[in-house]
Chains A and B, each alone.
Chain A
């Protein structure tokens, strides 16, 4: 079974803090994704990566950056957290265009 783990299930941060969310997968998949999930909006793609050190902007990249130094690890960085970044963050991985496998999510609250 594919396993996708996220560093935290719940996180509380203050406005202006730098926040790191980490995602690790054990299936040697090329593609990794970061989404945010908000009620009524479904999943929105923040960034994705199709190879080590490669990254592409998704639909809502503003206020976020990513890092992929190793194939199995994809990090999402909130440079200066704001209250409108309070959300559920989901990491996913896939081999090419096939099924995406999701981690359990990180629920982030920014105060």
Chain B
């Protein structure tokens, strides 16, 4: 069965510092992996996704993530945090199971950026 674990419900960084949000997943088949971002009072929007091919995926706003099959991880990084990055971030995994395709979301990590 699928599962997604996001380590840390809250992460705080200083402006200009590295952002690292951790995501581990379990899936019995090759998964599709996603990171979504939610700004206050808005729905989720896609940051980046991994389906097949290159394991380092680049997304919007300078974010990237690397699919590491051996570690079952898909951590999200950004070299230099900006105040506008303050939001909640969700990791998600989609795969095909006995009930068809299904997407599971992690519990979310709220990112705080300090001036």
A residues engaging B (CB < 8 A)? 4, 9, 35, 40-43, 45, 50, 56, 90, 92, 96-105
Knowing that A40-B9, A42-B108, A96-B101 touch, tell me 18 more A-B residue pairs with CB under 8 angstroms. A40-B107, A41-B107, A42-B90, A42-B107, A43-B90, A56-B99, A92-B44, A98-B32, A99-B46, A100-B44, A101-B46, A102-B43, A102-B44, A102-B45, A103-B43, A104-B42, A104-B43, A105-B43
Most chain A CB within 10 A, of B9, B41, B49, is at B41
Is B103 part of the contact surface with A, judged by Cβ < 8 Å?
yes
Residues in A with CB closer than 8 Å to B103 are 45, 100
Interface size on B, residues (CB 8 A): 22
Residues in B with CB closer than 8 Å to A100 are 36, 44, 46, 103
Q: Chain A: which residue is nearest B108 at the CB level?
A: A42
- Report the minimal beta-carbon distance from A97 to chain B, rounded to whole angstroms: 5
Also in contact, A42 and B105, with CB within 8 A (given A90-B44, A102-B44, A103-B43): yes
> Are A90 and B107 neighbours in the complex by a CB distance under 8 Å?
no
Chief secondary structure at chain B's binding surface: strand
Q: What's the A-B contact tally at a CB cutoff of 8 Å? A: 46
> Are A4 and B34 neighbours in the complex by a CB distance under 8 Å?
no
In the complex, what distance in Å separates the CA atom of A100 from the CA atom of B46? 8
> Which residues of chain B from 81 to 106 have any CB-CB distance to chain A below 8 Å in the complex?
90, 94, 96, 99-101, 103, 105-106
Also in contact, A97 and B101, with CB within 8 A (given A40-B107, A42-B106): yes
In the complex, what distance in Å separates the CA atom of A42 from the CA atom of B9? 10
- Report the minimal beta-carbon distance from A69 to chain B, rounded to whole angstroms: 22
In the complex, what distance in Å separates the CA atom of A98 from the CA atom of B94? 9
Residues in B with CB closer than 8 Å to A99 are 34, 46, 49
